[in-house]
Structures are given as structure tokens and as C-alpha cells.
Structure 1
Amino acid sequence: MLHLHIGFPAGKYSAACIEEPSRPEWPPHPSRIYSALVAAAYASDRQPSACERNLLLALEQAEPPSLAFPEADTAAGATSYVPVNDLPSRFGPKSYGPLLPNRQPRHFPVAYLLGEPEIVLSWAFDLDREELRLLDQLAARMTHLGTSHSLVVARFTCSEPKPLACYAASPYGDLSLRVPLPGRLQELDEVYAQCGGSPRRPQPLYEDFVTYARLAGGPIQVHHSAYEWLAFRLKGCTWGADTAHSLGKSLRRAIMSLLDAQAPAAVHGHAAEQLHIAWLPLPEVGHPRAEGRIRGMGIALPNGLSRQERALTLAALARLPFLRLPDGQVAELEPVIDGPHTLRTLCPKTWTGFSPCWSSVTPVVLDRPPKRFESSRVIQALVESLVNAGFPAPLSVTLSQTSDFEGGPSVRRIPTRLPRTHARVVFAEPVQGPVIAGRWKYFGTGLFRPTPEEFLS
């Protein structure tokens, strides 16, 4: 194993989070660390040797490294107002009141390390003594990471790292970090040649977001999803989550009209034992101003679909730029391309992540409601609904009349007399979404999301 130890003598790390610049980034992303190594190789106008360049290429082509790092205080920093050197314009300089003329707001976020101020990156390959010496010399030339305020001392070793909080790349992780891709070194060379060290640089093309999960003592057992996820943005729709069932049916009806006699059983759903596509309206919930408005449509394609059925469904979706809603509204459908500025409601990870704890966004309409609506009987009926949907029986179930998410519709707002309930369920192992359950699960009523942190004990 190859390990890169980076120490922070001042006990702090200054770098902005790419999603929220007012907050500090923690832990440092592997792509940022790789760029710092490349900068060290070219420091003081030196040119790296062929062997050093080959070692940098080996690092960018390796699998994402595991990380060990201490906890840190990542509270958002205060807003500062600084003078700028903007060119004069006919509109006059921007100002923030008579006391702050010609000032612009700036953030200088800092993460204060709460443990031993050192992080360790580990790659699963070995080097000979000479290669290790060259890499160690590169690391020794690193002066800072992030901004120049966070000084570092770095070294490469082949020894085992100290047992800190260790994370490794995993498809069911909840920590998303940027890692370099093959071609990143050449991209950095080209950017430097074009920009000459200018602080304004284009967005990197040769890096990717990789999810990381905390390593446990033994192998982690997970329940993988039975669906492939697609998402579409819905423009011009004012519907709420309480009528998700009708909206989901409208989308299925539109697809069936395009496919006509070619519509497979997974689309029309008339064959009870066949696989079913889920048409899931995606409501905006989970923040103080959320009202449960439908922002998009998620289409969950069963993994067992044949190639022909999948191709027919995708072709029909491609031919459906607009969706006519039951009240006569016409909404525009637009495929969602996931990115740093994508609305959280439309991000795939919001609905398809791994978690042992899930809470209902829309109430679950029970498959087989009990004759007497007692708590224990309702819990048993809810467990049966989850098992019928293909999920393991949960360890615990908490019933409620309201959702754990702000903006989620209450049980009373669902326009049906069928027994329904909100629930928070805890599984014995991480379960991958989408999690849907109940009689109306294929139309978005009975849709779950990972439980908010404030409800986790």
C-alpha cells in the first residue's frame, strides 16, 4: 500500500466547498490533492523528470484512494466585504450602502480540525525504493492545500496509516468526493499554458464525483435496487404531492398512447405477475419552505425488463416532450442531467441512495389493510407491503399521520378512503432506493426517502 500523509501544522484547512462556497470543504478532495502534487512538481519553474511524470500519471490512473481523516468543525464562515478592482462601467460601481462603497461580499471558509491534524490517502499499489523517494520529494515541495492560509507538511510512505475515521470508495456511500480521471495531468498542463496561472480557470473535465462510505469492521451486506432510475424535470406543473397518484397515471397513459398495441405488460401493468414500471412524481420536500410541489417525474425501470421492452419505453419517453395533466395543464418534460447545480429533488442520489433508515414522503396505501386499525396490525400490514414490494422486513416501524419531511402531504390530504399511513422504517442492512410500497406504489403514493438526520437516534 502507498500512503500519502498530509499534516496541517496550524490545525486548520482553508478551501471552499464546491456546492456551497460559504462552507469549508472537508475532507480535502483527492482531485484537489492531486492538483497540489502537480503544482509542487512544477514549482519554481522546474520541469518534472520523466519518472516523476510517470508516477503522477500512475496516481491519476489508479483506483480512488481510501481516506483517513479526523473530524472537523465545518460551520459556515462570516461574510466579509472587500474592495475590488473591477473596471468602471456606465452603471457605476456596486456598493453595499454608504458605509461599504465599492465592496463585494466574499467568503473565507475554514475547517478547524478537532483531532490529530493529519489526513492519510492510501492507494492499493506498491513502488520500489527509488520511485518512493521521488514521490516523497514531490510531497516535500507541497507548501499548502486549498488556499495559502492552510500550510501543510506532506510525505509518502509504505507503512500502515494510523487508525482514524477511514473511508473507501463505495456505491452506497453518502460522502461524495472529486477524484482525478486519466487525462487530468495533461488537462492541467493545457490549462496552465492557456491561463498562465490565472485564478479563473475552467471547470475540470477529467475528474469525477465518487461516493465514499465509512469502513466497518466486517463486510457490509446491502440490499441492491431492483430498478434503473430515470428522471425528468416537469416545467409548468403546479400540482402537489397529495395528487401524485393521478399525475403518475397521466404519464403512464401518455406513454401507452404513444406505444398503442406495442405497449409491453410492464407499461400497462395488466399482468399481475409481470414486472411493472413505476411512474413516480417527485415532490420538493425536506426544507422549511417546501410545499410538496411536484418538480419532476422519476421513472423506475425494473432490472428484469427485456431489451425490447426497455427500448420501446425509452423511445416513447424520447417522443414525449410535453405531458397533458388531468386538469388540462400542459407541462414540459426535460431529461435531468445530474450536476452540482441540479435541484436536490431531481438528483438521483436523493431517491436511489443506500440507507438503513427510510421515511415516507407520501403515505403508504396498505396492500392488505387490517379489519381493525390497531397500531400493531397496521405495522404488520405495512411490513407485508414492503415485503410484497421486494424489500426485506424492517427491524422497526414507526407510524405517523404526517411525513418526516417538511412539505410532505399528511395522511388526510390523500384523496381516498383506503387505509394509509406514514412510516419511518429501519432495516437491518443498507437498502438502495427507490423504496416504494403499498397499493399505489407504482404511481408515487408510498414513496420513501432516506430519513432526515434530525430523526435519527
Structure 2
Amino acid sequence: MLAISVELLHGTFRADPDGTANTGGLTRGEWPPAPSRLLAAMIAADGTRDRCKVTDGSELEWFEQLPPPVIHAHSRPWSQALHPRYVVLQTGSAAKSAHLEYIGRKGIKIRPGARITPRHPHVVYSWNIDAPTARVEALRRRAARIGYLGAADSPVRVRVSDHLPESAASEDAYVPDPGGEVSIRVPQRGDVRIFDRMYDAWVEHGAAVARAQFPALNHEARYRSPEAAPRVDRGSVVAWLRLETAVSGRRVSTVTDLFKQAVLRKHQGIHGEPPPVLHGHGFAGRGYDLARFIALPDAGHPRSRGRIHGLALWLPPGCDPGLQGRARDAAFEVRRLFGGGLDIRVAPHAGEPRPLAATPQRWDRRSRHWVTVFPAVHERRGSLDLEEVSRWCAHAGLPSPVAFRSARSPLVPGGVDLAPAELNRPGRPGLPYSHVELWFEEPVTGPVVIGAARQRGLGLCVEAPEMGGANG
């Protein structure tokens, strides 16, 4: 666990989330305080490069790559729109429109925006990770030098810990969720270098340089607020990985089989006997609730080629956090897939924006319209109709589609056309398979995988643009 707690020393917080405060259009302030502000405050506390005094700065590059944290904060704070006021403009010379209290000085109108007052003056950011001791200690030194967060009249005390403080228990939680209704700014890999460029430009050009001139610092993550409707547990991806060398999508069965065997071996070596949910032997639940070993291809864009760039390990609903953590550990320890004519190096996904096919953002979107990249294996022989496809979706933990269409060949650029020998397992009877396009009444959050072979990643779907032509 890594936890960073922020205590609001005045009990209030003031910040301009989108640059509209000086226009008078900001009526509600930023809440909760964005995690991106933590990175900015850490940088300001001890600088970067040769300006570092108490650290070497490497902890900032580690911190900017962390996934979005859970934010423990009051969900319904009081927001007070502040009245504009006039202050003295320090021009250095006399002005005709003099300020009444300061002869020869001009007054300027300031619009401070809004002040937030939460129920409790605490905000806690938590990451469920095993943070290196040296990184935590370096962040702790920087946190001790932070004076305020947001505006200068929002003084804070920041603490870094390896456990969740008691103050978090009394607060609500904003949880990262691709289907969430709140957008909150978060750090991203490369932000420290952008801050350095912004500082260099400010040193050279002075006040003419503004944060708004560096839009590359604006990254938003979707969050589910505490007041949102409870999310139905449909399972989740516990590990995202990327391949150092892309592989033809026609090798999907070989790649996912090697991935599964590698995860099982790593789990055996780290935590002992793998649970049945990973290998399927002796599994007491429904056969539909097994882990899915998914290959992530380049698909859905006009120039997509269907080559596999990443991997994902999905676990079904109901898996306890301990099991998820052990499976994640095993997947992240996989460094090589070897066999079947393949020798591929693998690494955990660390937030790199490219290749897009290996990023979580490509597969965990919400959409009403999905189409298979790899063909879906039919669950039984017979004609394919909406009722049968609805059975597939129910078994995959998805709502019933309102319409579908199917074809033998791919329906999306980059879709992979597999031969029976590349899809069916040796020694087992072959089942029919099809590419399928699905329309749902309500948006569905990915990754969407359907069909009898979804545990091997077959039937993986990609978000498709809205268009007509469905057959139901």
C-alpha cells in the first residue's frame, strides 16, 4: 500500500480546475483535489534535475507512472462562490485611475473562483501496490516541504505512508472506473519532463509563459463517485502486459496458451498451487467463471493489421482481493513466452501510450456497439440467431444484445480470419465459429469477450463506431 494523506489546515480548498475562475464563470470549485496536483506539489517542493536538495528526483518519474489512485474524500462538500475584489496592481509607476487607499497605484479586479469546505479536512490518495522503501522515503521528504495545494490560501500538511490512515475510514471513496461519471486529472508518464520544459520557458520568457500553453499536461481518468449507482461486478482485468515484438494475430491460440502456462508456472513458484479459477481443474463454480487469458491485437482503425501487441489477465466476479493480487503477481513476473515456434519477451504495461493496442484504454471503454476481432467459437451446433447470441452474452456476464449480425470473415479492420486448425484444439471436436457484431441497449464496459473459447481470448471484441445495418 502507498497512501498520501492531505490535511487541509484551514479546513477549505480553493483551486481553478479549468482556467475559468478569472472569467467569473467558475461557480463550483475543484473537488476532490486532482492527483495531478500532488505531482506538481512534489515537484515544487524539491525541484528536479540539479535543483534537487533532499532527493535525486528519480522518485518523481516513478510516481508519475502509477495508475490512478482511489481518492478518499467527502463526496458532498459545501461550495462557496467568492465575490470579486479589487487589489493593487504593482505597475511600478503612477496611474491615472488611482486606487483609493494607495495613491498613484491602479486597482485591478480579481475573481478568486470558489472555495470548497468538506465535512472533514482530510483527503487520502491510495494505491494498492508494493511501493519500494526508497521511493516512499523520497516522497516523504518531498511531502514534508509542501506548503499548499491549489491556491496559496489552501495550506496543507502532506504525509506519505505504507498503510491507509484512520482518516480514510471516515471519508467517501472516488474509485477509478472506465465507466465512471466523473473525470479527474491524473499524472502520466512524461509529465516531469514537460514541467521541466515549462520551467525553462518561464526562466527565459518570464510571466508570458502560462500553464495553459502546455496542454500535454492535461490527462483525465474516469472515476465512479460515492453517490453513483453501485456497479455490477462483471469481473476485471488484474494485469496488463505488452509484447516487445508484435506477433501475427493468426497465432492467437498459441500466444494465449503460452501466456496461461507461464502464469501458472509463476504462480506455482511464488505463491504455490494455482487456484482452480486459473487452470479450470476441479473448479467448483460455473464453467463460465474461469480466468481469461487475452491477446490484444491492433484492430478497429483503418490501418490496423491485426498484430498482437499485448496481453491481459481477466478474473471473474467474486474473486477476493488476495486471489487477485497473487494472480497479478504471477502475470507481472512473466518475462518470456517460448514455444510453438515463438520466442517473445514480455513486460508489464507501465502506462506507455504506444502501442495503443496494448493499453487498457483501448479495451476498457464503454460502448453500445462491439465487434469481434478474433472469431467467436459457437457454444453449440445449430443456427445462429439472437436468442443463441444472447446465451453467449449471458454466459460471458453481459446483458442481452438488442441486435447482431454475423459473418465468416472479419467485420472490422484488423480483424483476424482464422483457419479451423488455428482455432480448434488438437484432438478435440471442432465447433463452428463466426465473426459477430453486437448492439446493446445500454453501454457495456470492456473488455468484451464472447463464445465458447473466451478463456483463450477468442471472441474478443473491439469498440465499433455507430452505424446501421444490424440483423436481429
SS of 1:349's equivalent in the other structure is helix
Q: Which residue is 1:316 aligned to?
A: 330
Partner of 2:276: 265
Length-normalised TM-score, structure 1: 0.56
> What is residue 220 of structure 2 aligned with on the other side?
209
Residues 270-294 of structure 1 deviation map (CA, whole Å, 9 limit, x = unaligned): 2344442211011111223322111
Matched, 1:424 2:437: yes
1:368 aligns with: 380
Among 391, 404, 409, the alignment partner of 1:397 is 404
For residue 233 of structure 1, what is the aligned residue in structure 2?
242
What stretches of structure 1 of length at least 5 have no aligned partner? 1-29, 42-54, 65-122, 136-153, 159-168, 182-186, 214-218
In 1, are the aligned partners of 2:334 and 2:347 still within 8 Å (CA)? no
Kindly provide the amino acid, as one letter, of the partner of residue 319 in structure 1. E
User: Are 2:413 and 1:406 equivalent residues in the alignment?
Assistant: yes
1:173-252 equivalences in 2 (<5 Å): 179=185, 191=199, 196-197=206-207, 208-211=219-222, 225-240=234-249, 242-252=250-260
8 Å CA contact retained: 2:202, 2:209: no
Counterparts of 2:176 and 2:337, CA distance in 1 = 37
Out of 438, 442, 447, the position equivalent to 2:455 is 442
Question: How many Å separate the matches in 2 of 1:254 and 1:302?
Answer: 19
Task: Decide whether aligned partners of structure 1 residues 424 and 176 sit closer, same or farther in structure 2, where only a CA change above 3 A counts.
Answer: farther
Output the CA distance in 2 between the equivalents of 1:212 and 1:306: 22
Distance 2:364 2:391 in 1: 22
The answer to whether 1:253 aligns with 2:296 is no
Contact kept? 2:364, 2:446, Cα under 8 Å: yes
The one-character-per-residue Cα deviations of 1:238-264 (angstroms, maximum 9, x if unpaired) are 332x33122111111112223335111
Q: For residue 254 of structure 1, what is the amino acid of its counterpart?
A: A
Separation in structure 1 between the aligned mates of residue 401 and residue 230 of structure 2, nearest angstrom: 15
Unaligned runs of 5+ in 2: 1-14, 35-75, 87-109, 115-174, 188-194, 425-429
**Alpha-carbon shift at residue 349 of structure 1 (Å):** 2.4
Counterpart for residue 385 of structure 1: 392
Distance of 2:246 and 2:358 partners within structure 1: 15
Measured in 2, the distance between the counterparts of 1:438 and 1:385 equals: 6
TM-score, normalization by structure 2: 0.54
- Which residue of structure 2 lines up, in the alignment, with residue 337 of structure 1? 350
Per the TM alignment, residue 302 of structure 1 is displaced from its structure 2 partner at its CA by 2.8
Give the aligned length.
309
Is residue 223–residue 429 contact of structure 1 (8 Å, CA) maintained in 2? no
1:346 CA displacement: 1.7
- Superposed CA deviations along residues 300-348 of structure 1, whole A, max 9, x for unmatched, are 1234223442233222223322221421x32111111335x33221221
Q: 1:445 to 1:199 in 2, by over 3 A?
A: same
Residue 235 of structure 1 deviates from its aligned partner by: 1.4
Distance in 2 of aligned mates of 1:180 and 1:319: 27
Matched, 1:350 2:301: no
Q: Distance in 2 between matches of 1:171 and 1:255?
A: 26
CA shift in 2, pair 1:400/1:223, >3 Å: farther
* C-alpha displacement of 1:199: 5.2
Change over 3 Å in CA distance of 1:180–1:281 after alignment to 2:
closer
Q: What secondary structure sits across from 1:380 in the alignment?
A: helix
Q: Would you say 1:132 and 2:83 are equivalent positions?
A: yes
Question: How far apart, in 1, do the equivalents of 2:83 and 2:319 lie?
Answer: 50
Given that 2:375 and 2:435 are in contact with CA atoms closer than 8 Å, whether structure 1 keeps it comes out as yes
Q: Indicate the residue corresponding to 1:4 in structure 2.
A: none
Shift of 1:172: 5.1
